[in-house]
Copies of this chain bind each other. A is one copy, B any other.
Amino acid sequence: MSGQTVVVLGGDGIGPEVTDAALAVLRRVAGDVDFDERLVGVSAIRADGTALSAATLAACKRADAVLVGALGDPGFPPGSDPDPGEALLTLRSELGVTVNLRPIAARSTLAELGPIRASHVQDVDFLIVRELSGGLYRGGRHARDARAALDECVYTREQVERAARVAFGAARTRVTSVDKANVLETSRLWREVVTEVAREFPEIELEHMLVDNAAMQLLLDARRFDVLLTENLFGDVLSDEASIYCGSIGMLPSASLGTDGSPGLFEPAHGSAPDIAGLGVANPVGAILSGAMLLRHGLDRTAAADAVERAVAAAIDAGTRTRDLQGTATTGEFTAAVLEAL
């Protein structure tokens, strides 16, 4: 044993199917890691009455990294109590992860799928850096009475600085910072702080873009983006939009990192997809590539991360495709192809 521990939370819907796939791959390349599988979401509610038990949360905090499948169930609509979706937000805030990385990399062998012309998909390759702790999510007040409702959108200098540093650190040529500075005070603060941080990185260009324009530029000219840096909710929306370049939302991994050595949270960008849960046809790529990000950012195992990414690319390029990519491979067959390529 390496002494490294990863908590694996399959969660709801297709979550356990895709984390099983990721786990099979992780065990192959990092067999000395201790993988601690636990319940979260609906299965945890059934077992403990709560979507995220104190024991599970404590295990996550002690771990070197946490891998999550998906959360959310049609039997528990938004706002219900207990709410499996809330467990994810609680995990984020309790682990203190503040910056979310969502790489958007088109694979040319998938460029013929999907609504975007292949000529516009080729060579799209950028990173979305989403601030994950502030904005309209937690932090601000959320209130409701019979007549009206209120959500506070709050940003501190520190939150913006932290996300901006990650973005500039990851950029090769340019950071595109997305805000709504013509309407929001938080965006004006955002723009000011990002501009300050940019001075520490003179070799990286900074451009500001309004979020409405960004939603359009993501389609007109996605190749212009190197790192797209934005606040919490804009990042949520723009990353789902950008998934269009990857063939399916099922392809997208993500890494949520803290900045003080706390364990990172690694999860595919897709949801629990109750319509196909249990059928064994879910695309495990998002989860497997989240596993690769976990190896890289959570366990400092670059070579293993590279190997997993190469194996996934090889399996896709060889034509192994799940249903969302217009193929017939099952989750298990795709995973076997990745293990084979390893």
Tell me, rounded to whole Å, the shortest Cβ–Cβ distance linking A15 to chain B.
16
Copies in the complex: 2
Bound: A24/B288 CA distance, A: 59
Interface window among A35-43, A153-161, A305-313: A153-161
Interface flag for A79 (CB, 8 Å): yes
Nearest Cβ on chain B to A53's Cβ, whole angstroms: 21
A89 CB–B CB distance under 8 Å: yes
Indicate if the CB atoms of A136 and B183 lie closer than 8 Å: yes
Within 8 A of B (CB), among A186-229: 186-191, 211-213, 215-216, 218-220
Task: Decide yes or no whether A172 CB sits under 8 A from chain B.
Answer: no
Task: Give chain B nearest CB distance to A236 CB in angstroms.
Answer: 5
Q: In the complex the two chains form, what is the Cα distance from A331 to B146 in whole Å?
A: 51
- Chain B residues, Cβ within 8 Å of A149: 154-155, 184-186, 188-190
Scan A134-174; emit 1 where CB is below 8 A from any B CB, else 0.
Answer: 00110010111011111111111100000000000000000
CA distance A186 to B136 in the complex (A): 11
Residues of A at the B interface (CB closer than 8 Å) are 72, 77-79, 83, 85, 89, 114-117, 120, 136-137, 140, 142-144, 146-157, 180-191, 211-213, 215-216, 218-220, 233-234, 236-241, 243-244, 249, 271
Instruction: For A136, list chain B residues within 8 Å (CB).
Output: 153, 180, 183-184
Establish whether residues A219 and B115, one from each chain, have CB atoms under 8 Å apart when the complex forms: yes
Known: A219-B241, A241-B216. A152 touches B155 (CB 8 A): no
Contacts known (A140-B150, A151-B186); A241 close to B215, Cβ less than 8 A = yes
Name the CB-closest residue of B to A150: B154
Q: State how many angstroms separate the Cβ of A37 from the closest Cβ of chain B.
A: 25
Complex: A294 Cα to B29 Cα, angstroms:
64
Complex Cα distance A154/B144, Å?
10
Are A72 and B153 closer than 8 Å at their CB atoms?
A: no
Closest chain B CB from A301 CB (angstroms): 31
17 interchain pairs (CB within 8 A)? A78-B188, A78-B191, A116-B116, A117-B117, A136-B183, A148-B157, A148-B189, A149-B189, A149-B190, A150-B152, A151-B152, A153-B153, A211-B237, A212-B240, A218-B241, A219-B244, A234-B237
Instruction: Enumerate chain B residues within 8 angstroms of A137, measured Cβ to Cβ.
Output: 183
Q: Quick one: given A211-B237, A220-B244, are A142 and B89 in contact (CB under 8 Å)?
A: no
**What chain B residues lie within 8 Å of A240 (beta carbons)?**
212-213, 215-216
Q: Give the complex CA separation of A116 and B155 in angstroms.
A: 36
Residue pair B156, A147 in contact (C-beta under 8 Å): yes
CB-nearest residue of chain B to A249: B216
Asked whether, in the complex, the Cβ of A233 is within 8 Å of the Cβ of B116, the reply is no
Taking a contact as CB atoms closer than 8 A, the residue among B78, B117, B147, B237 that contacts A181 in the complex is B78
